[in-house]
Amino acid sequence: MTCLLAAMPLSLMGIPAAAHAAYPEKPITIVVPFTAGGVVDSITRNIAEKMGAKYNQPIIVENRTGAGGAVGTETVARAKPDGYTLLSVSPGHAGAPSLNKSLSWNPIDDFRAIAGFGNVPNVIVVHPGVPVKTMSEFIDMAKKSETPITYGTAGNGTSNHFSGAMLASMAGIELEQIPYRGQSNALTDLMAGRVTMMPLTIQLAGQQIQAGKLVPLAVTTATRASSLPDVPTVAESANLPGYEVGTWFGFVAPKNTPSDVIEQLSRDVAEILQSPDMRETFAGIGLEVHYRNPAEFDAFIADEFHKWAKVMKEAGVEPQ
């Protein structure tokens, strides 16, 4: 009888199997593939703090940088798919394959979406010494320039990079990307006049715009930003319908992570995003909250993947 009981599946004995133990049972690591202090890091840490309180487990935010986010992303792609290693993603996650042909991971095939958080608009800004006040004037200046206009970015495959590449392609102008290690470093050179223009997240641009140290030309999203209501979109200011770039954020997990874990994480993130204190915090950094469930976020990432492949091809950018 003892042997029979030992061999009998636990589920038939009315005892829950270990595989169905409450999740999470141990600390969760969220990898941020960029440096600490940036907008991706800030949003991730705010959500992680709430997750830790809800789960009564440590939520470890690990900044694993390198290769424009590819190093940290590969770490998660190869991690055990058990829900204890997650990845915080932004536009470079979907656009990287358009720039790097040696990647060992694919944003569609190697990950499962958990939740999308929302979007931070970029605002295209110039140094006050640049003789333009509108996007149309900037494009005219670029068309007349004998050399490409320089623009700063946080690196290849970032939303700053995509904003500039899409503008160059749609407006028919030459722009030269100057990549930096993070937006803050690029902003320093922009304010010193060493680069001409930068598509910068509103979080970093707002204070400098208010102080008159940067001139806003247009926001890169489809609609005007609530925090800069008087600044037009690129589409309306430069008569470029269809121009739209935003810095979006979310969490993904390795591709074989169980569905019940994905669904639980997504529900809990949705709840966190709706909390009044989180909305206040995110408003302060320019995040316009827009929750996407796993299916919606998977579809969104796929759309972004194909969009940037097309934009980069049309811009003549070949993956290296």
Residues 6+ apart with CB under 8 A from 239: 136
Domains of the chain, CATH where assigned? 27-119+247-314 (3.40.190.150), 121-237 (3.40.190.10)
Tens place of pLDDT for every residue, the chain, 320 residues? 334 434 444 444 444 444 446 899 999 999 999 888 888 999 999 999 999 999 999 999 999 988 778 899 999 999 999 999 999 999 989 988 888 888 889 999 999 999 999 998 899 999 999 999 999 999 999 999 999 999 999 888 888 999 999 999 999 999 999 998 778 889 999 999 999 999 998 888 988 999 999 999 999 999 999 889 999 999 999 999 999 998 899 999 999 999 999 999 999 999 999 999 999 999 888 888 999 999 999 999 999 999 988 888 887 777 77
Residue 21 confidence (pLDDT): 65
Q: At what angle do helices 276-284 and 259-274 cross, to 10 degrees?
A: 80
Amino acid at 82: D
Single out the residue of 120, 192, 119, 200 nearest to residue 152, CA to CA: 200
Residues 6+ apart with CB under 8 A from 140: none
**Token digits for 165?**
């590449």
Q: pTM of the entire structure?
A: 0.83
Q: H-helix or E-strand containing 86?
A: strand 85-89
